[in-house]
Amino acid sequence: MARAIFLLVLGIPPVTVLVVAALRFRAGRWRSLAGWRKTPEMPSDVRNAVYGFLPGAASILFIFLSMAFYATGSDGLASGMTALAAISFILSMRFSRKPPEWLKPDWVREEESKWKGDNAENEQIYRDTLFDRVIDGVMILLTVVTLGAAVVSMISG
């Protein structure tokens, strides 16, 4: 039980940092986190990384919960938390690659309407390429295989 509590306490700082950063960005307080958005030379997951913070925090939380449940002998709950961690991680990757409009704060939508409309070339630069989609697929496959192996390891003891 002490190990489970230790694992949960260990997971609090990274989850807190990501949640606070995402909420402050959404409120418009940390607009500097969006500084890369207008830089087409940067990969899309770098330009939009802030949109993956909340699902990334959930993924980290689920991983630490999974380890804590495993430490207490609750293998079924640990497996469920690992599955939720995989789903959250995949969402984090997807939102970092191309965030949905509903996830963007109003101030970001206003800024984007100003600078995207100025140049039709921007629309082409910020589109997903085949390479982006292949990288997404590889990352999803690696995530599912890795976390699946963790679940199998937990279940088999």
> Per-residue pLDDT averaged across 40-61, rounded?
83
- pLDDT top residue among 54 and 128: 54
pTM, to two decimals: 0.71
Confidence of residue 62 (pLDDT cuts 50, 70, 90): very high
* 128 membership: H or E segment, kind and range: none
Q: What value does the CA radius of gyration of the chain take, rounded to a whole number of Å?
A: 18
6, 67 in Cβ contact below 8 A? no
Q: C-alpha angle with apex 24: 22 to 25, nearest 5 degrees?
A: 65
Domain ranges of the chain: 2-106+121-156
- pLDDT top residue among 137 and 53: 53
pLDDT at 54 exceeding the cut of 70:
yes
> Per-residue pLDDT averaged across 13-29, rounded?
84
- Show Cβ contacts of residue 57 under 8 Å, excluding neighbours closer than 6 positions: 14, 15, 18, 19, 22
Please report the pLDDT score of residue 58 as a whole number: 92
Question: Which sign, positive or negative, has the C-alpha torsion 57, 61, 64, 67?
Answer: negative
> Per-residue pLDDT averaged across 137-152, rounded?
74
Please report the pLDDT score of residue 99 as a whole number: 85
- pLDDT top residue among 135 and 47: 47
Model pLDDT for residues 100-115, shown as the tens digit of each residue? 888 888 888 887 777 6
Distance CA(80)–CA(126), nearest Å, equals 36
pLDDT at 120 exceeding the cut of 60:
no
Please report the pLDDT score of residue 154 as a whole number: 65
